[in-house]
Amino acid sequence: MNNRTVDETPQYDSALPDDRDRDPSGRARNARPRDGLGRPLPYGAPGVERQPEGVPRSPEESLAEAQRLLDAGLPFHAHEVLEDAWKAADEPQRALWRALAQLAVGLTHALRGNASGAATLLRRGADGIDPYRDAAPYGLDIAGLSGWARELADRPGAAQGGPAPRLLVEGGA
């Protein structure tokens, strides 16, 4: 049972017996607001608007939106865009999009102060994009991203105040 007051009712119907937040289809979905790094806030607190899930985008649109969010200091939200692309991609490209999402989550962990989680995900993401180095799709800067991720994995505190990673080669797709 939760301890929410009437004024703190989430946007989803929680009338089901387990009293969990649910989306309109009945799927369990936490309706608590989130901060810019995706951390849950108390019910009723102002939060950062979440990225809508399942938005169909071309690879180029996904990369442009993810870069916009990274530039705005919202790597958790960028991860959600990249995760949508991962889920929508055909098998040969799924690993690429999964690795890009892992880089965004790694940056999120670094900014949250979780050095261990950041290092793990940044290295995993770098390992995942490295096979695309010789034929980088969509104008991705694989070498630059991989180098950035490995450097940040060694010094996760450097993410604070650092520039957002650049997804595309300068002047790329």
- Structure confidence by residue, pLDDT tens digits, 130-149: 999 999 999 999 999 999 99
Q: What is the pTM of this model?
A: 0.80
Tell me how far apart the alpha carbons of residues 84 and 96 are, in angstroms, rounded to a whole number. 12
Residue 23 confidence (pLDDT): 64
28: left (phi over 0), alpha (psi -120 to 50) or beta: beta
Give residue limits of the domains in the chain: 59-159
Domain 59-159: give its CATH code.
Answer: 1.10.3450.10
Residue 105 confidence (pLDDT): 96
Residue 83 confidence (pLDDT): 96
CB 75 within 8 A of CB 104: yes
Beta carbons within 8 Å of 169's beta carbon, 6+ residues apart: 136, 139, 140, 141, 144
Q: Which regions in the chain score pLDDT beneath 50?
A: 1-17, 172-173
